[in-house]
């Protein structure tokens, strides 16, 4: 009881800690990426790629390159519009630095620049920066090349101008921090391959190139057939009940819906559902609505 009394007496306002900037992310990384094991490690890559995919969704990005470097770094490069580098009017720092170093900073909150988006909606890339030993952002925008480097979430220096270019887009190079990811900081090609393939199926207008410099493995993913191609991939080598997949597309209140399904001779049901490219493993109202509509149609037909 005496120890308890001492603890209660010690709990006063000065004991309350306020974590500023990205310190909170480094202190409690699992709150942002789930865990610091293999799954959380690869989630860093997904967050950066999701930013590129968001550029695809608004019609600007057609190519994404993901490279596992021999030194353990990851490079993600796209040909989107490039992260803005001009000075933010109220924060007084370049947009690139703002996005990289502040939580809840991004162009995805008012739905003017991005109507839809995946990932952590503007939080993702700053979290990646916070959990990286170092990160380098290179932007190709308005005919110029810009670069800024960071170490454990903090800028090493100001944005540099490196000359002119005809390219456009963003290249992010980062190495996970072994102080955070104590189990492993080695990326696995097969894990990344599954997600890159999935994103290519869901976004038929983009090509995604994945390469592992350590093993020499590489592949480009591009599926013009979209989710129909995805369905055919999932049903490969299965005995089908009907050869042609059922495909439905609709749009209402600025919400676009795509559905593809096909029956095979297996007894187990498999439904993959996504919202803004993010897998909804627990289902949701979109899955409930599909099931209800399909059941109603079958009952009406029979």
242-300 confidence digits (pLDDT tens): 999 999 999 998 889 999 999 999 988 899 999 999 899 888 999 999 999 999 998 98
Cβ atoms of 60 and 202 within 8 Å: the answer is no
Beta-carbon count within 10 A of 250 CB: 9
Residues 261, 141 share a domain = no
Prediction pTM value: 0.87
Residues 182, 139 share a domain = yes
pLDDT at position 112 over 70? no
User: Which pLDDT score, from 0 to 100, does residue 8 have?
Assistant: 54
Spatial separation of the C-alpha atoms in residues 174 and 75, rounded to whole Å: 7
Number of domains the chain contains: 2
Residues 164, 38 share a domain = yes
pLDDT at position 86 over 80? yes
User: Which pLDDT score, from 0 to 100, does residue 96 have?
Assistant: 94
User: Which pLDDT score, from 0 to 100, does residue 92 have?
Assistant: 87
- The whole-number average pLDDT for the span 27-37 is 92
Least confident interval from 3-17, 127-141, 233-247, 255-269:
3-17
Whole domain around residue 64: which residue ranges? Answer: 23-221
Confidence of residue 12 (pLDDT cuts 50, 70, 90): low
261 found inside a domain: yes
Residues 240, 211 share a domain = no
Least confident interval from 101-110, 116-125, 262-271:
116-125
pLDDT at position 106 over 80? no
Q: Among 195, 221, 247, identify where a domain stops.
A: 221
Spatial separation of the C-alpha atoms in residues 155 and 96, rounded to whole Å: 11
Residues 66, 88 share a domain = yes
Least confident interval from 76-85, 111-120, 192-201, 281-290:
111-120
User: Which pLDDT score, from 0 to 100, does residue 14 have?
Assistant: 66
Cβ atoms of 154 and 129 within 8 Å: the answer is no
pLDDT at position 120 over 50? no
User: Which pLDDT score, from 0 to 100, does residue 88 have?
Assistant: 87
**β-pair type (160-164, 154-155):** unpaired
Confidence of residue 130 (pLDDT cuts 50, 70, 90): very high
Of 18 and 203, the one with more pLDDT: 203
User: Which pLDDT score, from 0 to 100, does residue 194 have?
Assistant: 96
- Give the rounded percent of residues in the chain with a pLDDT score beyond 70: 86
Cα of first residue to Cα of last residue in the chain, in angstroms, is 72
Residues 199, 79 share a domain = yes
User: Which pLDDT score, from 0 to 100, does residue 19 have?
Assistant: 64
Residue 202 belongs to a domain with what CATH number?
Answer: 3.30.565.10
- The whole-number average pLDDT for the span 47-58 is 94
Q: Which of the listed ranges 108-112, 122-126, 275-279 does the model predict with the highest average pLDDT?
A: 275-279
Report residue 201: phi and psi, to 5°: -65, -40
154 found inside a domain: yes
Residues 259, 277 share a domain = yes
């Amino acid at each position: 009881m005496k120890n308890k009394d001492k603890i209660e007496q010690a709990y006063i306002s000065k004991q309350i800690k306020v974590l500023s900037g990205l310190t909170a992310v480094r202190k409690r990384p699992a709150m942002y990426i789930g865990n610091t094991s293999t799954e959380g490690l690869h989630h860093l890559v997904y967050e950066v790629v999701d930013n590129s995919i968001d550029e695809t969704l608004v019609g600007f990005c057609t190519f994404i390159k993901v490279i596992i470097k021999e030194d353990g770094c990851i490079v993600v490069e796209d040909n989107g519009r490039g992260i803005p580098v001009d000075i933010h009017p109220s924060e007084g720092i370049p947009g690139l630095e703002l996005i990289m170093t502040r939580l809840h900073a991004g162009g995805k909150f008012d739905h003017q620049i991005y109507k839809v988006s995946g990932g952590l909606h503007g939080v993702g890339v700053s979290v990646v920066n916070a959990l990286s030993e170092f990160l380098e952002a290179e932007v190709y925008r308005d005919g110029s090349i810009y670069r800024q480097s960071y170490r454990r979430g903090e800028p090493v220096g100001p944005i540099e101008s490196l000359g002119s270019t005809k390219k456009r887009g963003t290249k992010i190079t980062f190495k996970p921090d072994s102080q955070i990811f104590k189990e492993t900081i080695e990326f696995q090609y097969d894990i990344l391959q599954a997600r890159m393939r999935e994103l290519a199926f869901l976004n038929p207008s983009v090509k995604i190139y994945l390469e592992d410099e350590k093993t020499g493995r590489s592949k480009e993913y591009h599926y013009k057939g979209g989710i129909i191609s995805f369905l055919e991939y999932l049903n490969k080598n299965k005995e089908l009940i009907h050869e042609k997949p059922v495909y439905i597309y609709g749009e209402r209140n600025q919400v676009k819906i795509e559905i593809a399904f096909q029956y095979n001779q297996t007894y187990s049901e498999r439904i993959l559902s996504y919202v803004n490219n993010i897998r909804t493993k627990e289902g949701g109202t979109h899955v409930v609505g599909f099931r209800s509509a399909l059941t109603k149609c079958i009952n009406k037909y029979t």
